[in-house]
Chain A
Amino acid sequence: MGVKAYFMINMKGGGNGHADALADLEAMPEVEFVAPVSGQYDFMVKVDAPTGVVQVANKILEKEWVKHLDVLKIEPHIPKPFLEEVCSIPSGESINWCAQCGMCSASCPNVAQMDYSPRKIIALIRAGKREQVLTSNTMSVCASCYLCTARCPEEVKITELMHALECLAVRHGLRGGRTPTTIMHRAFTESIKKNGRVHEVGLMFRFYLRTNPFAALRLSTVGLKLFSHGRMPLRARKIKGIEQIKAIIDKAQALGGA
Chain B
Amino acid sequence: MKYYSYFPGCSLEATAVAYGLSTKAISGPLEMELIELEDWNCCGSTPYSSTEDLEAICIAARNLALAEKTGLDLVTPCSSCYCTLSRANSQLREYPELRDKVREILAAAGLEYKGQVRVRHLAEVLFNDIGLEFIKSKVVNPLSGLKVAPYYGCQLVRPTGFDDPENPQSLDLLIATLGAEATPFPLKSRCCGGSLIIPEMDLALGLIHQLLESATTNGAQCVATVCPLCQTNLDAYQGIVNSKFKTRYDLPVLFFTQLLGLALGIAPKELGFDKNIISAERVLAPFTTAARSVRET
B104 at the interface (CB under 8 A from A): yes
Docked complex Cα distance between A204 and B40 (Å): 22
* Complex: A145 Cα to B158 Cα, angstroms: 7
Q: Is A179 within 8 A of B54, CB to CB?
A: no
Q: State A252–B98 Cα separation when bound (angstroms).
A: 11
A109-B190 in contact (CB<8A):
yes
Interface size on A, residues (CB 8 A): 77
Does any Cβ of B come within 8 Å of A129's Cβ? no
Residues of A within 8 A of B182 (CB): none
B110 at the interface (CB under 8 A from A): yes
Question: Once bound together, how far apart are the Cα atoms of A225 and B204, in whole Å?
Answer: 19
A-B contact count (CB 8 A): 216
Interface size, chain B (Cβ < 8 Å): 68
**Does B154 interact with chain A (Cβ within 8 Å)?**
yes
Question: Interface of chain B, helix or strand or loop or mixed?
Answer: helix
Taken together as a complex, chains A and B put the C-alpha atoms of A211 and B52 apart, in Å, by 21
Judge whether A139 and B50 touch: CB under 8 Å. yes
Q: Is the CB of B53 within 8 A of A222?
A: no
B239 touches A163 (CB 8 A): no
| Complex interface: chain A residues within 8 A of B94 (CB) | 90
Q: A116 vs B240: C-alpha distance in the bound complex, in angstroms?
A: 29
B1 adjacent to chain A (CB < 8 Å): no
Counting from the closest, the 6 A-B pairs by CB-CB distance are A180-B199, A146-B158, A145-B191, A188-B47, A251-B108, A166-B50
Interface residues of A (CB under 8 A from B): 89-91, 109-110, 113, 139-141, 143-147, 149-151, 157, 159, 162-164, 166-167, 170, 179-186, 188-189, 191-192, 196-201, 203-204, 207, 211, 215, 218-219, 221-222, 225-226, 229-233, 237, 239-241, 243-245, 247-253, 255-258
Knowing that A170-B51, A199-B10, A248-B109 touch, tell me 20 more A-B residue pairs with CB under 8 angstroms. Answer: A140-B199, A143-B154, A150-B158, A167-B51, A180-B200, A192-B42, A197-B41, A221-B239, A222-B239, A226-B15, A231-B236, A241-B62, A244-B62, A244-B111, A245-B59, A245-B62, A247-B108, A248-B55, A249-B58, A255-B101
